[in-house]
């Protein structure tokens, strides 16, 4: 039974859907997906077109809005919105260190998680669409990894779409994970340089923290082992609109004086624990590189291997000289499964996924070249998370896709820009801009 309730200006309805774990075996095991239906309070009884939102990640549940925050207010002017918790995330059937042992050992867990990529998410959407809309097509809004899912949607089930809107998430159609990270590390280095140009005092602060971590064994209050590499991974903040400022304020209060000498403050440790822990989104670490798997080549801890090609990211080598410490960005490394207590029990499962050699293609270039669905994409200039050149190559490969290339926003533009980003992209799909 669906439950409806109100927040300022909106009516929310909790929806649950039962879908096959493996869509190739529709009569087999099932899982439950959760989605939150949202409609403007003054339109609650109107027959409105639907927009389904696919969150970035992978591994994150849909945004938990209060009222009409960010882009949602613009969408609610004309749509009934479905905020989907993709399989394994949010309030859907979970996949984490507590639940995955129900599948069996690491081999069974890894096999289970191969069904948590964009192809399965799109098939989930198609089953849900038929139930929710009565078979009518809907509009999809894909943020980041949600845009990857939108590209898979256009490749496999375009008949289900009235339009597709992508924000910061046009994937390469054929790049291996190695190609993704070879493009990423120079981009990350530029973001770090821009941060230090804004906050030059952070050069010494970051070096001091890294030096402390190289000479001390630091375990955070929640059990996370904070190494220099883990500290560098806080650079993931630099891809967001407020990330540089957040990193600056974090660094400025890192140390306190104690009877034993300088130590990392409790406040710093507590905030870092929250930023680095994967307890709330373990799927991000487990299947992040798998979203690039499309052939017989294993991903094989791509970000870790490719990082070795960029020795300027080595903290120990940096501190032996006088160069600024480089932070890293959106990448998953095997050491995370040692540092993070939420991931430690899943290390062998992650190794098996990294070694897998039978990934199926996620995109159909021929079908995309013949696309008839109106598509518009915001491509953020020098996006830290998704390579701009890869995105523009894909834009050229999808028939009729219109791009809005902008340096006004970072990767989270659809949130930070309020209604403007969605408004512009919807206009592009309708030839109104």
What domains, with CATH codes, occur in the chain? 3-174+363-429 (3.40.50.1820), 177-355 (no CATH)
What is the structure's pLDDT at 81?
A: 98
Q: Which of 47, 217, 322, 358 is catalytic?
A: 358
What is the structure's pLDDT at 342?
A: 98
Question: Could you give the percent of the chain with pLDDT greater than 90?
Answer: 98
Peptide bond before 44: cis, by omega within 30 degrees of 0?
Answer: no
CB 284 within 8 Å of CB 229: no
- Tell me: the pLDDT tens digits for 25-84? 999 999 999 999 999 999 999 999 999 999 999 999 999 999 998 999 999 999 999 999
Mean pLDDT of 288-313: 97
Q: What is the C-alpha to C-alpha distance for residues 334 and 230, in angstroms, rounded to an integer?
A: 11
Q: What is the C-alpha to C-alpha distance for residues 414 and 81, in angstroms, rounded to an integer?
A: 15
Q: Which residues contact 261 (CB under 8 A, 6 or more apart)?
A: none
- Tell me: the pLDDT tens digits for 232-242? 999 999 999 99
- Tell me: the pLDDT tens digits for 234-279? 999 999 999 999 999 999 999 999 999 999 999 999 999 999 999 9
In the β-sheet with 138-143, what is the strand arrangement from edge to edge?
3-7, 10-20, 30-40, 80-85, 50-54, 138-143, 161-167, 375-380, 402-406
Q: Which of 195, 212, 390, 411 is catalytic?
A: 411
Task: Quickly list DSSP for 102-119.
Answer: GG-SHHHHHHHHTTSSHH
> In this structure, what DSSP letter does residue 94 have?
B
Reported as a pLDDT band with limits 50, 70 and 90, residue 374 is very high
What is the structure's pLDDT at 135?
A: 96
Mean pLDDT of 370-386: 97
In the chain, the N- to C-terminal Cα span, in Å, equals 42
Reported as a pLDDT band with limits 50, 70 and 90, residue 3 is confident
CB 63 within 8 Å of CB 55: yes
Based on the residue annotation, tell me whether 411 is a catalytic residue of this protein.
yes
Based on the residue annotation, tell me whether 144 is a catalytic residue of this protein.
yes
Q: Which of 92, 119, 124, 144 is catalytic?
A: 144
What predicted TM-score, i.e. pTM, was given to this entire model?
A: 0.97
Dig out the tokens for 175 from the structure: 């790049």
Q: Which of 337, 334, 343 is nearest to 300 (CA)?
A: 334
- Tell me: the pLDDT tens digits for 159-188? 999 999 999 999 999 999 999 999 999 999
Reported as a pLDDT band with limits 50, 70 and 90, residue 1 is low
Strands 255-258 and 225-226: unpaired
- Tell me: the pLDDT tens digits for 201-221? 999 999 999 999 999 999 999
What is the structure's pLDDT at 356?
A: 97
């Amino acid at each position: 039974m669906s439950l409806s309730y109100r927040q300022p200006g909106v009516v929310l309805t909790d929806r649950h859907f039962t879908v096959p774990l493996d869509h190739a075996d529709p009569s087999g095991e099932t899982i439950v997906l959760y989605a939150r239906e949202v409609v403007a309070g003054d339109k609650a009884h109107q027959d409105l077109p639907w927009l389904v939102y696919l969150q970035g990640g992978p591994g994150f549940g849909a945004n938990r809005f209060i009222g009409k925050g960010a882009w949602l207010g613009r969408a609610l002017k004309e749509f009934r919105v479905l905020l989907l918790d993709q399989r394994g995330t949010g309030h859907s059937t979970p996949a984490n260190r507590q639940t995955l042992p129900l599948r069996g050992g690491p081999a069974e867990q890894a096999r289970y998680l191969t069904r948590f990529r964009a192809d399965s998410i799109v098939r989930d959407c198609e089953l849900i669409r038929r139930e929710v809309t009565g078979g009518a097509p809907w509009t999809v809004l894909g943020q980041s990894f949600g845009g990857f899912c939108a590209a898979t949607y256009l490749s496999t089930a375009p008949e289900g779409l009235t339009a597709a809107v992508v924000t910061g998430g046009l994937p390469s159609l054929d790049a291996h994970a190695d190609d993704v990270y070879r493009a990423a590390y120079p981009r990350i280095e530029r973001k770090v340089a821009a941060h230090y140009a804004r906050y030059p005092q952070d050069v010494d602060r970051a070096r001091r923290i890294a030096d402390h971590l190289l000479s001390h064994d630091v375990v955070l209050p929640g059990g996370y082992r904070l190494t220099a590499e883990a500290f560098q991974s806080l650079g993931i903040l630099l891809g967001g609109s407020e990330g540089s400022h957040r990193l600056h304020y974090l660094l400025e209060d890192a140390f306190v004086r104690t009877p034993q000498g300088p130590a990392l403050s409790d406040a710093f440790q507590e905030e870092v624990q929250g930023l680095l822990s994967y307890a709330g989104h373990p799927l991000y670490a487990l299947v992040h590189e798998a979203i690039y798997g499309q052939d017989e080549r294993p991903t094989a801890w791509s970000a870790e291997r490719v990082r070795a090609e960029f020795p300027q990211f080595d903290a120990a080598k940096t501190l032996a000289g006088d160069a600024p410490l480089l932070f890293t960005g959106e990448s998953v490394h095997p050491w995370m499964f040692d540092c993070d207590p939420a991931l430690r029990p899943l290390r062998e499962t992650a190794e098996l996924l990294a070694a897998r050699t039978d990934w199926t293609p996620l995109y159909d270039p021929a079908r995309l070249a013949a696309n008839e669905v109106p598509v518009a994409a915001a491509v953020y200039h020098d996006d830290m998370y998704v390579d701009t050149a890869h995105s523009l190559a894909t834009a050229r490969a999808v028939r009729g896709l219109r791009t809005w290339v902008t340096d006004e926003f970072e990767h989270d533009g659809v949130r930070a820009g309020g209604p403007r980003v969605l408004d512009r992209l919807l206009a592009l799909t309708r030839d109104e801009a």
